[in-house]
Structure 1
C-alpha cells in the first residue's frame, strides 16, 4: 500500500485533480443509480398498485431537497393530470436526462483521470531518468543497460496501465458500487444482507490469487528486462554476431528468455482472468438465491416488498455486480503494476556513492597540479586494483600511463574526474582534496577523449556542440583544429548531416576526430586521453594524432597510451603493472633500464 500511494504521488499536484474527480465521479454514480430507482413508481402504475391514499401522499410538496420525493411529487402530478400515458412520458424524459447527466459527468471524470495518468507517468519517468543520470559511474558498470531502459519505459508504462486504472476503480467504480448498495438497502435491507454474504468468500479467493499473481508479475517484468538487454547487446554488436556466425546462439538465448516471459505472463493472465468468472458465477448464484428467497417471501405474503420494488431490486442488483467485478479485476491487474512500480522505486531509491561534500568548493581555474598521494582502490571492496599510487601532474605537463592490459591505467584516469573515489590515500587538485570539490566544477575543468568515440544519433554540429549554445564559427574552428573540417564539408548535409546510431555512418578515425573537436570546443585546462588512437588504422592515426597534438598544446595532459611511439615526448611516463607504478621517467630514462618492463614493451612493439 505504501508503494501504491507513493506512485500515485507523482501525479502532483493532486489537489487540482482529486476534488473535481471525486465530485464528477459521485455525480455520475448518483445519476446512474437514479435511472433504476425511478422505475419503481412507473412499475407501480403499470401494475395498478397506486391507490388514492398513496397518490395523495405523493402530491404533498416537499420541504428541502429530496430528489426522490421531488420526482414522486411531479410523477403523481403528471399521473393525475395526464393519466398513465403522461406519467410514462414524464418518467422516460427524466430517465433520459439522468442518463445524459450520468454520461456527461462520467466523461468529465474520465478526462480528469487520463490527465492524472499522463501527468503521473510523465513525472515518474522524468524522476527515474533524472535519478539514473546522476548516479555514480560504477552503478552503470554493474547494471545492464537494457534493464535500465526497461524500468524507464516498460515498467513505467505498466504503472500507468495498472496502478492508475486501479485508482479509477477504487474511486469511480467504488462510488457507483456504494450508490447501488445504498439503493438496495433502501429497498430491502434483509435481502441485501443475504446478498452480501458472498463478499467474504470472494475476498478470500481473490486475496489468494493476488499473492500468487505478484510473484508472476515480478518474474515477467524481469524477463522482459532481460529481453530488452539482450536485444540491445545483439543489435549493438551485430558485426560481431555476423562475424562469428552466432545467429543461432543468440536466437536460442532470445528464445529461452522469450519463453520464460511467455510462461510468466500466461500464469499471471490465467490467475487474473480467473477472478472475473468466479465473481460472475458467485453473482449469478446470489441472484438465483435472491429470486428464490425473495420470491418465496412475496408469494407467501411474508414480505413487505411489492412486485415493482422486487423487480427494481433485481435490476439494480444485476448492475451492482459490474462495478464489483471491475474493482476485483482492477486490484488483480494491479499486481503487475505494483511489481513494475517496485522496480521503478528501487531505482529512484538508489543512492550515488559519489556525493558532493556539504560545503564543497567550486573550482574556477586550474592553477598548479593534480597530485596522487598513496592512492589505493578496489571495486566494491573486492580485489585491490591500485596500490600506493603516487605522482604529481603539474600544470602544463604531460604524464603518460603505459603497461599491460588490466594493470589499472584506466582506473587511475577515472579517479581524476572523480568517477570513483579512492579507497585509500587522497587525490588533490591545487592542494584541495577532490572529495571537497564539487563534481560539476571539477569536470568542467577537464576534457576526456576515450578509445571509443561516444557520439549520438544527431547532426555533426550538435555532436560537437553537445548541449553548448555556441556559434557556427566556433564549431568550425574546433573542427579545423581537430582535422575534421575537410571530411565534414564532404558529407551530404555538411555540419547538419545525421551520423546514425553511435556515429555508424562515419569511420573510426572520423568519429574520433569529432570527439576531439568536442573536447577542443570545451577548451579544458586538463586533458585525459584514454588510448585515443589505439583502434585506428595508420592513416587515421596520423590525422587523429595531429589533432591530439593541437589539442594538447598549452594544456595539462594525462595520457593512457597503447602505442609507445605516441608518448615519447611526455614529460614523465609511468609504467603501471598489477595496480602499482613499477617504473617512471622519460622515454630515454626508461629505455636505459636493463631488463626494464618499458624496454620490453618497446622492443615488442618494434618487432
Structure 2
C-alpha cells in the first residue's frame, strides 16, 4: 500500500485555556439578572397558570372560611358563660363543620397545585429533551454534563415549592390574617389594633433590610455557580494533580472562588443580622402575648370587651407571625426560582442544528470531500482555515498534527458535531447539511477516544444503531470486536446492565463501542485514536478489532501515535496557525 503524505499548513489555531475566573457580575448586572429571571419565570409558568389560578381561588375561599372558627369560638365562650348547654352543642357542631370545610378546601387547593407542578415538570423535561435532541453535538463537548443534569433534575425540582406550595400558601398567608384582622376590628377596634401593634414596625425594618434582596440573590447564584464549577473541575482532575504533586496549585481556583463567595456573603449578611434579630423579636410569641393579654386585660377589667372576645383576638394575633414568615419564605422561593428559570430557558433554547431532507443511496463507494472549510469556536479562536481534502472510497486517511491544530474538529465535522463557518463537506457530491440525520448516521459511524456506554444492557448498547437485530448478529459483532469472551464471562451475559453493579474496564467499554460500530456497518468511519487510553493488555485486542472494523470502509483516523498511521493511504498534517499581529 503506497503511503502518500502531504502537509496542510492551513490548519487553524489552538484554543487558549482561560486560567482565570470570569469576572463576576456587579450589582447592576445582578439587578438585571433578577429582572430577567422573573420574566423567564412568568414565561415558564405559562402552561400551568390557569391551574394555579384555580388552586389560588380555592385557597382564597378556604382562607375566608378560616374566620368562621373564631366567630364560632366567641359565640361558644358567650354561651358557656351564660350556661346555655343546648346552644353550646349546636355551636360545637358548627365549629367542627366550619373547621373541616376550611381544611378540606385547603387540601383540594394543594392537590390542584401539586397536579400543576407535575404537569409543569413534564412539560419542562419534554422541552429540555427536545432541545437536547436537536442541539449540535459540539454543544455537549462545550457544556459539562453537570449543567444538563442540574437543568433536568435540580432546576425543574426547584420550581416544585413555587408551584406546588407557594400559590396556595401565599394566598393563605395573606388572606387568612387579613380576614381575621377584619373580624378582630369588628369585634372591637381596640382589640384589632392590639393584634397588629408590633407588625408595622416589623415590616418597616424588614423592608429596609431586604430592599436589595432580589439583586443580591441573583449575585449569590452567580458566586455559587463559580464555586460549583471550580469544585467539579478540581474533583474531575484529582487523580492527575495528585499523581504530579500539584494539589495546592490545582485547587487554587476553587479556593479563590470560595473566598469570593465568602467575602460577598459576609458583606451582605453581617449588617442584616442585628436588624433581623430586632424585627423577629417584635413578632415573637411572648411579645405578642404580652401586648394582647396585658392591654386586653385592662379592657376586660374596664368592661368594654368580654373574655371570649379577648381570647379570640389574642389567638388571631398569634397567627400573624407565622404567616409573615411564610410570605418571606415564598418570596425567597420566587427569587431562587427566577435563577432556575433562566438556566432552564438557556437549555431549552439551544440553537438547533438544521436538518436536511436528502436521503443518500446505500452505496459503499462514496467519496468524502472537504471544500475550503473554515471553522472558529465561539471564543473567536480559529482552528481551521480553508481546509480542503478528499477521502477516496475504501481508503484510510490519517489526520496528524500538534494539539490545537484542528484534527478532531475536522474529523467530527464530518459527523456534524459542528458545521463549518465557511466551505462545505460533501459525501458523494452532496453537502452533508442537506442530508437527513437518519441518512447521515447510516452513512457515517465513529469510535471516539472516550467511549460512552448508556446505562442499558450490553445487548442494547451494541445494537443502539440497529435495535431490531437478533442476538446472533449482536454476538457476531461482539466476536469481531474481540469482546464476546468477556461478555460471556459476566453472570448476566448480554443482559448485564452497564453501571448497575458491574464495572467494565476502559478497554472493555471501547471494544463494546467498536462492536456497536461493527453492527452499524456504516461505509464511512471516523476513528479518534481508540487505543490511546487503553492499557497495553487491551491495546492489542482493540487494534485487532479495529482491523476488522475498517475493512472495505472509507476511514478518517485522528492519529496521535506514529504506529497509528502505519499502512494508511493518505496522511494529512495540520499545523497550528500563528496568530496575526497585524493591527
TM-score between the two structures when normalised by the length of structure 2? 0.77
Partner of 1:38: 72
Alpha-carbon distance change, 381 to 158 in structure 1, aligned in 2, over 3 angstroms: closer
Corresponding position: 1:408 with 2:406: yes
What are the within-5 Å matches in structure 2 for residues 273-288 of structure 1?
278=279, 281=282
Provide the rounded CA distance (Å) in 2 between the counterparts of 1:230 and 1:536: 28
Conservation of the 8 A alpha-carbon contact between 2:195 and 2:317 = no
Distance 2:484 2:242 in 1: 33
1:269 to partner: Cα distance: 8.2
Is 1:557 the counterpart of 2:555? The answer is yes
What is the correspondence of 1:413-424 to structure 2 with a 5 Å cutoff?
A: 413-424=411-422
Q: Aligned in 2, Cα 1:213/1:365: closer, same or farther, shift over 3 Å? A: farther
Contact 1:213 1:268 in 2 (8 A): no
Contact 1:147–1:229 (CA under 8 A) maintained in structure 2: no
CA distance in 2, matches of 1:277, 1:119: 42
Contact 1:375 1:423 in 2 (8 A): yes
Aligned match of 1:58: none
- SS, match of residue 380 in structure 1: coil
Give the Cα separation in 2 of the matches to 1:470 and 1:221: 48
1:159 aligns with 2:185: no
Give the 3-state SS of the residue equivalent to 2:420 in structure 1: coil
Q: Tell me the CA shift for residue 37 of structure 1.
A: 0.7
Structure 1 equivalent of residue 450 of structure 2: 452
Higher relative contact order (CA 8 A, sep 6+): 2
**Residues 164, 393 of structure 1: CA spacing in aligned structure 2 closer, same or farther, 3 A cutoff?**
same
Structure 1 partner of 2:388: 390
Q: In the alignment, what sits opposite 1:70? A: none
Deviation at 1:565, TM superposition (A): 4.4
- Give the whole-Å Cα distance in 2 for the aligned partners of 1:484 and 1:120: 44
CA RMSD of aligned residues (A): 4.2
| Equivalent pair of 1:275/1:329 in contact (CA under 8 Å) | no
Shift of 1:437: 3.1
Whether contact under 8 Å (2:413, 2:420) holds in the other structure is yes
1:523 shift after superposition: 1.8
Residue in 2 that maps onto 1:494: 493
Q: Tell me how far apart the structure 1 counterparts of residues 203 and 354 of structure 2 sit (CA, whole Å).
A: 48
Tell me, yes or no, if the aligned pair for 2:506 and 2:534 is still in contact at 8 Å: no
Distance 1:273 1:342 in 2: 33
Q: Deviation of residue 474 (structure 1)?
A: 1.9
Counterparts of 1:154 and 1:479 in 2: how far apart (Å)? 38
Report the alpha carbon displacement of residue 449 of structure 1 after superposing the two structures with TM. Answer: 0.9
How many residue pairs get aligned? The number is 537
Q: How does 1:456-535 map to 2 (within 5 A)?
A: 456-466=454-464, 468-498=467-497, 500=499, 505-508=504-507, 510-535=508-533
CA distance in 1 between partners of 2:501 and 2:172 (Å): 48
| Cα-to-partner distance string for 1:310-363 (whole Å, 9 max, x where unaligned) | 5534443443443344223321443333333333333334434x3336xx4354
TM-aligned CA deviation for residue 435 of structure 1: 3.1
The answer for the alignment partner of 1:371 in structure 2 is 369
CA distance in 2, matches of 1:392, 1:238: 42
> Is the alpha carbon distance of 1:3 and 1:391 closer, same or farther for their aligned partners in structure 2, counting shifts above 3 Å?
closer
Going from structure 1 to structure 2, the CA distance change for 1:33 and 1:100 (only over 3 Å counts) comes to: same
* Secondary structure of 1:455 counterpart: coil
State how far apart, in whole Å, the 1-side matches of 2:569 and 2:512 are: 27
> Cα 1:257–1:388, aligned 2, differ >3 Å: closer, same or farther?
closer
8 Å Cα contact 1:146-1:225 kept in structure 2: no
Deviations 1:70-108 (A, max 9, x none): xxxxxxxxxxxxx61222232223223322333333333
Does the 8 Å CA contact 2:113/2:163 hold for their aligned counterparts?
no
Partner of 2:11: none
Partners of 1:162 and 1:336 within 8 A in 2: no
Matched residue SS, 1:527: strand
SS in 2 for 1:38: helix
Asked if 2 retains the 8 angstrom alpha-carbon contact of 1:400 and 1:559, the reply is: yes
8 Å CA contact 1:147–1:226 kept in 2: the answer is no
For residue 481 of structure 1, report the CA deviation from its aligned partner: 1.6
Deviation (angstroms), 1:182: 4.1
Residues 158 and 337 in structure 1, CA contact (< 8 A), matched pair in contact too: yes
Which position in structure 1 is the counterpart of 2:424? 426
Any residues of structure 2 matched to 1:16-27 within 5 Å, and which? 18-19=53-54, 21-22=55-56, 24-27=58-61
Residues 97-145 of structure 1, C-alpha deviation per residue, up to 9 Å, x if partnerless? 3223333333333344444434434543554455345433443444344
* Deviations 1:478-524 (CA, angstroms, capped at 9, x unpaired): 1112222123223444333455499963253x332211111111221
Could you say if the C-alpha distance between residues 272 and 434 of structure 1 is closer, same or farther in structure 2, counting changes exceeding 3 Å?
Answer: farther
Q: CA deviation at 1:380?
A: 2.0
Tell me, yes or no, if the aligned pair for 2:191 and 2:310 is still in contact at 8 Å: no
1:339 is aligned to: 339
For residues 110-259 of structure 1, what are the structure 2 equivalents within 5 Å? 110-128=110-128, 130-132=130-132, 134-161=134-161, 164-188=164-188, 205-222=205-222, 224-226=224-226, 228-230=228-230, 232-233=232-233, 236-246=236-246
SS at match of 2:426: strand
Q: Residue 42 of structure 2 corresponds to which residue in structure 1?
A: 5
Contact 2:400-2:560 within 8 A present in 1 as well:
yes
The answer to which of 244-253 and 462-471 deviates more is 244-253
1:552 deviation in Å?
1.9
Q: Which runs of 5+ in 2 are unaligned?
A: 1-37, 579-583
Q: Which residue of 2 aligns with 1:28?
A: 62
Between the aligned partners of 2:273 and 2:63, the Cα distance in structure 1 is: 26
CA contact (8 A) 1:280 1:321 kept: no
SS of 2:510's partner is helix
Q: State the 1:280 CA deviation.
A: 6.3
Partner SS, residue 368 of structure 2: strand
CA distance in 2, matches of 1:349, 1:507: 34
